[in-house]
């Protein structure tokens, strides 16, 4: 033991329990799934070939990418306004806004999806209200199509978009903006030429975060899409639990995993990840 301690920092003994659990019970099966994607049902790249030959797979991938992209654009746009207003609000207002944001962040995704089901249905509150005030004469179809999925997903993602942006905006030096105004730039000019470029790292980080989270999102598309909007996550679950085709599921899982890791790598170029996920590396 004593000899061991000379070579290994004693701190590692505290890390070991969780590290071993993750390696044995998470990394192990994960590697196994990567392996399955090239060996099941037969060795080779057959599962990946299907990406180019199967129309349904291509359609699912396209639906997923399109939905995630639109979700990201809207969530980050809303999140940017929110973060801007929160950072520049008075202390008391800032606290109220932060509380509301965190409460919506914490409410269960099932509860929120259920709420949208009630609001957006054929006889839901939104359609009824629109009909009462005479805005429409036939109910709009919100559910079982992409519109419903998008509303539900954007609603879920906005808080995630806000947090990295707020971190970024709080670090800006307000004197830079004041200098720009003093030198004769108008408010909009200052915003477009100074503020927006300075918040670019936050924008990139928040877009990537929302995009990553949207890629694997399962609950809301499955419920609000009602089987009509099939995205990768739901397709994987069908492959595993209904048709029992591990190969295809593993292939899609591998693609998603590689995509997420690549995006995380890009994200780490723009922002210290520990600032987003919290970390102790300040010493």
Site for other proteins in 96-125 (CB under 8 A): 97, 99-104, 106-119, 125
164 interacts with other proteins by CB under 8 A: no
Task: Indicate the residue among 53 and 216 with the shorter CB distance to other proteins.
Answer: 216
Distance CA 131, CA 212 (A): 37
* 3-class SS string, 187-215: HHHHHHHHHHHHCHHHHHHHHHHHHHHHH
Residue environment code for 161-183, b if the CB has 16+ CB neighbours within 10 A, otherwise e: bbbbbbbbbeeeeeeebeebeee
Task: Indicate the residue among 88 and 228 with the shorter CB distance to other proteins.
Answer: 88
For the record, the structure tokens of 119 come out as 């609001």
Site for other proteins in 204-223 (CB under 8 A): 212-213, 215-219, 223
Segment interacting with other proteins (CB under 8 A) among 51-59, 80-88, 134-142, 198-206: 80-88
Smallest separation (angstroms) from other proteins to the CB of 235:
10
Site for other proteins in 17-76 (CB under 8 A): 17-19, 21-22, 25-26, 28-30, 32-33
Segment interacting with other proteins (CB under 8 A) among 40-48, 57-65, 199-207, 248-256: 248-256
Which of 69, 85, 135, 136 is in the footprint of other proteins by CB under 8 A? 85
CA angle 275–93–166, rounded 5-degree value? 20
283 interacts with other proteins by CB under 8 A: yes
Question: Would you call the peptide bond into 41 cis, given omega within 30 degrees of 0 as the criterion?
Answer: yes
């Amino acid at each position: 033991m004593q000899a061991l301690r000379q070579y290994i920092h004693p701190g590692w003994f505290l890390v070991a329990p969780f590290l071993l659990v993750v390696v044995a019970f998470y990394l192990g099966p994960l590697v196994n799934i990567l392996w399955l994607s090239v060996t099941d049902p037969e060795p080779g790249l057959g599962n990946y070939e299907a990406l180019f030959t199967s129309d349904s797979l291509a359609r699912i991938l396209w639906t997923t990418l399109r939905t995630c992209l639109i979700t990201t654009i809207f969530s980050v746009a809303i999140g940017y306004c929110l973060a801007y207003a929160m950072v520049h609000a008075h202390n008391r207002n800032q606290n109220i806004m932060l509380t509301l944001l965190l409460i919506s962040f914490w409410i269960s995704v099932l509860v929120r999806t259920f709420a949208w089901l009630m609001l957006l249905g054929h006889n839901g509150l939104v359609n009824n209200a629109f009909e009462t005030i005479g805005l429409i004469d036939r109910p709009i179809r919100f559910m079982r199509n992409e519109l419903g999925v998008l509303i539900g997903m954007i609603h879920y993602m906005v808080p995630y978009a806000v947090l990295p942006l707020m971190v970024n905006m709080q670090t800006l030096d307000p004197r830079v903006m004041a200098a720009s105004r003093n030198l004769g730039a108008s408010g909009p000019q200052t915003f477009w030429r100074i503020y927006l470029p300075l918040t670019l790292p936050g924008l990139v980080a928040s877009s990537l975060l929302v995009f990553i989270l949207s890629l694997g999102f399962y609950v809301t598309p499955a419920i609000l899409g009602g089987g009509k909007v099939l995205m990768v996550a739901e397709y994987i679950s069908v492959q595993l639990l209904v048709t029992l085709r591990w190969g295809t599921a593993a292939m899609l899982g591998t693609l998603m995993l590689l995509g997420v890791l690549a995006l995380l790598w890009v994200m780490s170029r723009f922002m210290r990840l520990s600032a987003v996920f919290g970390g102790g590396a300040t010493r």
